[in-house]
Structure 1
Amino acid sequence: MASTTTSSLGTDWYGEANALLKKIVDQYDEDHELRTLNSSIYDTAWVSMIDKSINGERQWLFPDAFQFILDCQSSTGGWQVDCPSIDGIVSTLVCLLSLKRHQSTIHLWKESQDSIVHRIDTAIAFLNSQLNDWEVMKTERVAFELIIPTLFDLLEEEFGITFKFRDCAALLALNRKKKMSMIKDSMIYETQSSCHHTLEAFI
């Protein structure tokens, strides 16, 4: 019979550890390993954009990440289209940014310029549709008011892509008044902060 280890506070650490292991084993799935660990299109898109200059030439450090982005685009042009609309909007915005940044080197993935242009056009069409139906003030996703305006800015500054939609002014006001006015540099550099979970919003 297995022994138990109990602390002076009465905690059965052996039992706690076994309970945790049982929970992990119960969540195991042969096809997808742990069901609680899902691939993130959003994170993968950011990883796909990491590059390095080698002998004056741009080299993508994680080409498989971009291939994953290509493989996961839906026929409607978006990503995570079966998730709540805000997830589809955020994921498609960052994937669109990745598509545009990779456009000049798309031949490395055996895709034609016509193909990448079509992907970009359908992604923009998907976003226009989703953004027009989006009710900003009813959205509860963490930090969306920081992340989405940042992606808008990057797409406009780098590629001239802009989006106009019903609640655009409400989003920008939320970004400016509710969040940015509360954030100081010291929160990022000197102390632990929830800002660290969305550092990409400060690019």
Structure 2
Amino acid sequence: MTTCIYDTAWLAMVTKEEEGQIRWLFPDSFKAILESQSLDGGFGSRTSDVDAIMNTMAALLALSKHGHNPSVAGCPPVANLQERIAQGGAFLQNVLLSWDILSTDHVGFEILIPCLIDLLYNDGVDVRAFPGYENLIRLNQRKLARFRPEMLYMPRQTTLLHSLEAFSGKINFDAVAHHLTGGAMLNSPSSTAAYLINSSKWDAEAEAYLRYVAEKGRGLVPSAFPITLFEISWCLSTLLESGFTVQQLGEKPIQQLSDFVVKNLKENGGVCGFAPGVLPDADDTAKCIFLLNCIGQRTDCDRMIEVFEDKSHFKTYDLEVTDSFSANCNVLKAMLVAEDAARHLPQICKVLRYLCQIWHDGQLNDKWNLRPQYSMMLLTEALVHVLKRWDQGDLNEIPVELMAEQGILSVLSDILDGLLRTQSLEDGGWGGSAEVTGYALLALKRLASLPWSLECGDKVDLAIDLATVYLQTREGEWTTPQENWIEKVSYGSRLLSLTYAVAAL
């Protein structure tokens, strides 16, 4: 996972008293923030408006804290600090003026940005005057309508632990210490840093976690670490589904990795999160189940269904406000590779209705990936799986309306048309990205396996050939991460970029 200024800025605000003197604990993080400021005043990457806003807000807060605390040792003074803050504030105001809040899906933004606005205001930086402020506050109130501080003090984990910085000054941070796993708060550097900043007692385990993550990036940190189950399940399942065999990937490493996945599923009663000890979610659980079934280790979906099934779809987490299109695609795929898929027919039909309706409503905005080609790829894979199981006689009782005009065949036809229309005429790729082209090419190859695609077979074959050449001639870009993925801010992954490029060929 690529590093980000947002989380790095929270580390830059951590202080520790050592030998009677208070020191900034992560001077390299503060240096990284300064080096990330652009000539226009903004900080860090800006793949989307919310990235520019959150990176810049957190950086401004860190600069302001350093400016207001000159007696704290560990970082050399910055001569033009106030000028940098003024430039960052001006940049931020310009972005906020045009920010489309209602189309933003990044993790926890509706609780994080209001908190940052308040913290900046308390530090003398007022950025509240922008058109979407009232909409933002309404989203914040909706998100926290059922929130009580006591929810964080209980033994059970909640997704809010990943964003404890949003509750600075609002909760008793000493009362959440029991949630530390490996020194981290739900594997979030910024949340863990906020815990250290706000706790009355120093936590050596949390410090060790942050030091380890910061040293790996020379002060820069990602939005989540570690993410082992996510990386294993996404990469291996993608390669295996695309046609790679266990023998090609290596029987011994596959066995070791699958044992790790099985161990985590068993320890959590059949569900898992993106890493050991992290709150389980439907997305990672589904990917792990799918992976194990791909390598012949029969794994059922019963617990996944029990924990995550909702009225009209599957929820990724408890108390989520925005549902996930891609997570439901992965849940559907997991149920389809189960040994007795027909046993889950009610749930399969439920997810099919949800996915087809979202598609026809034109609401293909996923909460975990910015690129529509990713959702199109997953939806294609899931629907082609349904057709194959139906053709084998396993799912004969799927209602006709889910197969015909507004159902599977209609959606697949739309996806094919959309992919062919959006392919670049100049280079044969999508989005100028090897990873995104990998998404699209994987979808096209699935679509090409269907008999009805023969009507436009020549166009499909040409599109596949052009996309293949695009990837083959850009092998050097396969491990260049692009920020297609969504966390608190957008991020990229060398592993995922390489996986999708290789799997597509």
Q: TM-score range by the shorter chain?
A: 0.7 to 0.9
> What percent of counterpart residues are identical?
35
Per-residue deviation, residues 29-60 of structure 1 (Å, max 9, x unmatched): xxxxxxxx311211110001000245665311
* 2:166 maps to 1:201: yes
Match for residue 171 of structure 1?
A: 136
Match for residue 184 of structure 1?
A: 148
* 2:145 maps to 1:145: no
Q: Calculate the TM-score normalised by the size of structure 1.
A: 0.74
In structure 2, the CA distance between the partners of 1:158 and 1:47, relative to structure 1 (3 Å rule), is same
* 2:31 maps to 1:67: yes
Runs of 4+ displaced beyond 6 Å: none
Match for residue 50 of structure 1?
A: 14
Counterpart of 1:66 in structure 2: which amino acid?
F
**C-alpha displacement at 1:160, in angstroms?**
4.9
Counterpart of 1:165 in structure 2: which amino acid?
F
Structure-1 separation of matches of 2:125 and 2:29: 25
Per-residue deviation, residues 142-201 of structure 1 (Å, max 9, x unmatched): 21010000011111123253421001011011111x111121234312111111111111
Counterpart of 1:99 in structure 2: which amino acid?
L
Residue correspondences, number: 164
Q: Calculate the TM-score normalised by the size of structure 2.
A: 0.31
Structure-1 separation of matches of 2:88 and 2:145: 32
Any conservation in 1 of the 2:100–2:132 contact (CA below 8 Å)? yes
The structure having more radius of gyration, on CA atoms, is: 2
Any conservation in 2 of the 1:187–1:195 contact (CA below 8 Å)? no
Counterpart of 1:132 in structure 2: which amino acid?
L
Counterpart of 2:57 in structure 1: which amino acid?
L
Per-residue deviation, residues 82-112 of structure 1 (Å, max 9, x unmatched): 4111011011001000000111439943521
SS where residue 138 of structure 2 aligns?
Answer: helix
RMSD over aligned Cα atoms: 2.0
| Structure 2 runs not aligned, ≥5 long | 169-505
SS where residue 122 of structure 1 aligns?
Answer: helix
Match for residue 55 of structure 2?
A: 91
Match for residue 102 of structure 1?
A: 66
Structure-2 separation of matches of 1:161 and 1:167: 15
| Structure 1 runs not aligned, ≥5 long | 1-36
In structure 2, the CA distance between the partners of 1:133 and 1:46, relative to structure 1 (3 Å rule), is same
Any conservation in 2 of the 1:79–1:88 contact (CA below 8 Å)? yes
Structure-2 separation of matches of 1:137 and 1:54: 46
